[in-house]
Each structure stands twice: as C-alpha cells, then as structure tokens.
Amino acid sequence: MASDSLPDSPRPRRTAKKWWKESTVYQVYPASFKDSNGDGIGDIPGITSKLDYIKNLGADIIWLNPIFCSPQIDMGYDVSDYYNIYRPFGTVDDLDRLTAGIHERGMKLVLDLVVNHTSDQHRWFQEARSSRFNPYRDWYVWKKPTFDADGNRRPPNNWKSYFGGSVWEYDDLTGEYYLHLFAKEQPDLNWENPYVRAAVHDIVRYWLNKGADGFRMDAINLISKDQSFPDAPVTDPNSRWQDGTKYFACGPRLHEYLQGIGKILKQYDAFSVGEMPEIYDLNEILRSVGDDRSELSMVFHFEIVSLDHGAGGKFTSRTWTLNELKTVVSKWQTYMHNNNGWNALYLENHDQPRIVSRFGSDTQEHLALSAKMLATFLGFQSGTLFIYQGQELGLPNVPKTWSLDQYRDIETLNHWHENQKSPHPESYLQEYRLKSRDNARTPMPWDSSPNAGFSTAHPWIPVNDNHISLNAATQITQKESVYNFWASILHLRKKYPDVLVYGTFELLDPDHEHVFAYIRRASSAHAIVVMNFKSNEVKWSVPACFQRNGHGRILLANYTRSLPLDSTITLRPFESFIWFSDSEHSEARL
Ligand code: GLC
Ligand code: CA
C-alpha cells in the first residue's frame, strides 16, 4: 500500500518543457478496436480507418498494445517474433500505412515493448530449451531442481507467479526449471546476459528507424532479478507459493538496464512510459524518470488502481475512502513536480476495469455524469494524460449477466481454475464482474448496428449489449456527450498548458469525505477543480480563494453552475467543474 510519508523534497523547480509532456495518449487495444476484414478480430487496417476519430478527440499519441507475432496466450504479451506482425492483425506494410496515416495527421505512434519475457514459441526459447549447451540457453533463467526430505522434486524457490502457481516450470528434456513471472508460456529473459540486452536494443532501434516515436515498456521494473533467487518470506500460510516481488521488482541492475535503452531513446527524442507494478518507493521511481537520468519519460504506478484490491489479492474486495485517493494523488502530483519527474495519468487500460463502474456509477441516471466527473478529476492533473479506447465514451464494465464462459482473459480463467473449489466461489464471480481485465476488452462500440459496427462477423469476445444506446456515432453528434466533454478537456490542456500541463498542484479541503478539489497554478493564472464523488448531493464550504476572486469563470462543468459561488454550495450527484482565472485578474497568491 501507499507509504504515507513523503521523501524530502527540494524546492520546486521549473519543469522542463517537452513535446510528450503536452501530449495526450490514446490507447488502442488492436483486437477490439475495429475489424476491417470480417474475421471478428480487430486489425491494423481497422485502426487506420479510424484515425480521424482519434484525431478529432484531440489525442496526440496513439499507443498500440502488442501487435507482434504471438500465440496469444496472453493477448500478444507473449511475443514469438519482434520483427513481424501477428497475421490476423495485418502485415508490416499495414503498419507502415498506419504509421504514415498517424504522422500525416501530426500524431505520434507508440509501440508496446514486451521484453521481460518472450513467448515459449520464440526461436530463442526453442533453442534454449533444446539443450543445456545451446548458445541460447543462458538467454533465459534456468535452475536445477531441489528435493525435499522424501526425495520429491521441488522448484528452486517458492515464488508465486502473477497468473497463479509457481514461477518455475520443469522442462523434462533437460531436467531443469525455467523462470516465468507470468504464464508458463511466457519465460523470463535473462537480462544479466549482454546478448539479451543487445538483442533488445536492436528491436528498439529497428522500430524507431521504422517510424515509431516511442514505447510503452511492459512490466519493465521486473527485468533485473536478485541473482541468489532466495525463498520469499511466507506471507500467505495457505499457499505453497509466496510473493517474491521484493527480489525482482526494481532489482539491483534495473537502472543500468534502463539507461542502456534510454541512451537509444534519447538519440531519437523518443517517448517512453514504463509499466512499474509493485513499487511504492517514490525515490526509486524518480531514479527512473528524473529529468537528468536518461531512463524513462514516465511510469505507470499502481497505487490508484489497487485501492480496491483486498488482502487476498486483486479478486478480493476492499472498501476504500476518498481520503486515501487524495493522499495518493497529492503525493505523486507534488513529488514529481518538486523533483523534476513527470507523471503518467491513467485510470483505465487493458488490464483495468472501466472506471465508471469502479469509482463512479454505471446506472443509467449517473453513467454519463460520473464519467465526466472522473474525466475532470484526471484530465486537469499534471502529467501526460492516457485515455483508453472507450473511456472517452464513458463505457461501463461488461453486463452483470455475463457467465464465466464469456470471459477470455488468462488471469481471470486461471484464477477461477485455482479457486472454484474454494468455500465461496460465487464471491469470485462477483469480483470478476468488478475487476476482470475483460471488462475493458470488449469490442469498441462504433454504432448501434449488429456487432456494434466493430465487425461484420461474430467477434472474438462478446459485444456489450449497451452499444444500442452507448456508441461513438451517437456521441460524436451530441454536444453534451462524454466524448465531447473529453474533447473539451484535451482542448483546454492545449489552450492553457502553463497552468493545466506545467502548473503546480495543491490539494484543497483534504479532509472532506466526498469532495475532491485541487488547485493548479502558474504565475499567470490558476484553476480550481472540484468534484463530488458521491451519487447524492453534498454540501461544500467554498474556500476563501473563490470568494476573494470574483473574476474567474467556469471553463467546463457537467451541470450548469453560475458564479459567484455562495459561501456554502450544494454539489449535485457527481457534479464537477473547473474554475479558471487568468493574468489580469489573478492574484499572485490565493
Ligand atoms: C503487463 C500487461 C499485461 C500482461 C503482463 C504480462 O502487465 O499490461 O496485459 O498480461 O504485463 O506481459
Ligand atoms: Ca480482422
């Protein structure tokens, strides 16, 4: 969980300007975005056909989840060839056309670099497993078995895999175990080996030369492991397998490895965002994203998206409070600003459920209101903003009527496999409806036609029935839609970068249980952002700074709200607004 105390911060410095700081990233999940050839699977030509949609929203960068050759055990996060495209998604020529289309529109392309592990079908691993003496053997992590008192074979240690079971898989042919932090079909690369590092550098250079503008780096803080591979302390007495993250999350040589890639990125002025689960030490993260470090542009941390994970892991429940959210947000916002780091702002992605169902409300009455409130909450913070496909429409989770055979995700299905005989399996079904990764992986609803305009065929994962009313075609034309609300946020960030991109962040009213409010401030202007996280009305005492300044205006709101504000106001269910005051009327200090 979040550490409460802040590391010592130097005095705020002026944040260096960079193109990627002022950009908004739109994340495309290729399998579910748009199918161009009627096989039920989204593809690259489909993405190319929708570039104007993304451009019109106001996004600057498109990040594609993995598109490379893969047996798709984990939706492309198991790469079998880094230089070719997974055939159902298209060809390298299709990618060239997509890249050209993105660049013609003044946008940039970010690819997903998955190099903590490969697929077990990658040639490197096929070679490695063929013999203990194969030159590729040392590209992966192999260990001899251990034996218990009765002579039974045991894995080298007790670490638990993210997708269930041990991280070690025994390979009969050569009589050793190999390491896989994720599925057994995703063997971990051995980054200690300089040939592995050189091979990764080649991949990075190749795609930058082909026109990519940067990378999202998958699980990148897991690449350096404690080479003594010790047993993890027993934190779950009911399991054989224990949490070993402290031996591989942010391991001893992580920064050296990141600098190796960072040097190349720098030559291309490329963008990078590192996915970094299991790190709560801000200083460690600052070492990765500090302006002077040449490692990563920014990282995805997990403190917000694990607020509702219970003691038994993601698929157990936890009640969280708004004050916890305030602590996390304020910590990251102020610390990065004060230390010349940079934040990546996200609430959704292909691994997370839909945020309206999670932090807002997916009832008909409140869906759009809470989607706009959460957009306001995220969209005016400091950092590079990430929007996941469908978030701009305020899409909710999959319907509550979904049964287990409609899920496709390996994490969910493996979890079920391990836990269906537990005393209360139905509680897990409930948790999948809340947090399964499939919630965000259903086909993009383009219109109200059969299969939501995503495909002419039956899609690989069911379409959400709500596409009849909730779809892109309708929202584009409605002035008040969630889509147009997001478009306004992106427009405002472009119009007022000094305040909304580079300005400082201060939490207002930290103890209010239902209202989240913050100030963004630059020398010339300031903005106050106010959100009611509740589905009912709440009272809010308006801070003095509003009243002292009668000149500001509301830039964007999800209800009509007129000025000036009384000393106490009633915020309606999920009400949010941003109030702005610029140079001529602004006070130096509020
Ligand atoms: C990351 C990806 C996730 C994948 C995992 C293993 O967390 O975002 O989708 O399953 O890494 O590559
Ligand atoms: Ca297709």
What tens digit of pLDDT does each residue of 106-158 get? Answer: 999 999 999 999 999 999 999 999 999 999 999 999 999 999 999 999 999 99
| Mean pLDDT along residues 231-246 | 95
H or E segment and range at residue 196: helix 194-209
List the residue whose alpha carbon is closest to atom 7 of ligand 1.
Answer: 219
Q: How confident is the model at residue 7 (pLDDT cuts 50, 70, 90)?
A: very low
In sequence order, the β-bridge partners of residue 484 are: none
Catalytic residue among 74, 213, 218, 362: 218
Catalytic residue among 188, 275, 308, 411: 275
Asked if 407 and 413 touch (Cβ cutoff 8 Å), the reply is: yes
Q: CATH code for 24-118+193-405+440-488?
A: 3.20.20.80
CA of 421 to the centre of ligand 2 (A): 38
- What average pLDDT is seen over the chain? 94
Q: Which DSSP string corresponds to 269-331?
A: T-EEEEE-TT---HHHHHHHH-TTS-S-SEEE--TTTTTT-BTTBTTS-----HHHHHHHHHH
Q: CATH code for 123-179?
A: 3.90.400.10
| Mean pLDDT along residues 491-517 | 97
| Mean pLDDT along residues 532-543 | 96
Angle at 353 between CA 347 and CA 358, to 5 degrees: 75
Structure token digits, residue 101: 């289309």
What tens digit of pLDDT does each residue of 190-205 get? Answer: 999 999 999 999 999 9
Say if ligand 1 is within 6 A of residue 74 CB. Answer: yes
Q: How far apart are CA 266 and CA 263, in angstroms?
A: 5
**Does 418 qualify as catalytic in the annotation?**
no
- Identify the three-state secondary structure at position 275: strand
**Does 513 qualify as catalytic in the annotation?**
no
Structure token digits, residue 211: 């026109």
Q: Which DSSP string corresponds to 107-160?
A: -EEEEEE--SB--TTSHHHHHHHH-TTSTTGGGB-EE--EE-TT--EE-SS-BB
What is the pLDDT at residue 342? 95
Q: How far apart are CA 415 and CA 586, in angstroms?
A: 54
Query: In sequence order, which residues have a C-beta less than 8 Å from that of residue 127 and are 6 or more positions away?
Result: 134, 135, 136, 137
Q: In 10 A of CB 233, how many CB atoms? A: 10
CA of 32 to the centre of ligand 2 (A): 10
Q: How far apart are CA 343 and CA 301, in angstroms?
A: 9
Q: How far apart are CA 543 and CA 534, in angstroms?
A: 20
Domain ranges of the chain: 24-118+193-405+440-488, 123-179, 504-582
Q: What phi and psi values does residue 205 have, to the nearest 5 degrees?
A: -60, -40
Q: Identify the CATH class of 504-582.
A: mainly beta
Closest ligand (CA of 273): 1
Query: What is the percent of the chain with per-residue pLDDT over 90, rounded to a whole number?
Result: 88
Q: In this structure, which amino acid lies at residue 290? A: G
At residue 13, does pLDDT exceed 70?
Answer: no
In sequence order, the β-bridge partners of residue 146 are: 154
What is the pLDDT at residue 316? 94
What is the pLDDT at residue 205? 98
At residue 11, does pLDDT exceed 60?
Answer: no
Nearest to 412 by CA among 75, 71, 59: 75
What tens digit of pLDDT does each residue of 243-266 get? Answer: 999 999 999 999 999 999 999 999
Q: How confident is the model at residue 290 (pLDDT cuts 50, 70, 90)?
A: confident
Best probe residue, ligand 1, of 72, 218, 436 (max atoms within 8 Å of C-beta): 218
| Mean pLDDT along residues 184-194 | 98
Which range (33-42, 295-304, 548-557) has the least confidence? 548-557
| Mean pLDDT along residues 149-176 | 97
What tens digit of pLDDT does each residue of 418-441 get? Answer: 999 888 888 899 999 999 999 999
At residue 4, does pLDDT exceed 50?
Answer: no
What tens digit of pLDDT does each residue of 462-499 get? Answer: 999 999 999 999 999 999 999 999 999 999 999 999 99
Q: Rounded to two decimals, what is the model's pTM?
A: 0.95
Asked if 464 and 471 touch (Cβ cutoff 8 Å), the reply is: no
What is the pLDDT at residue 295? 94
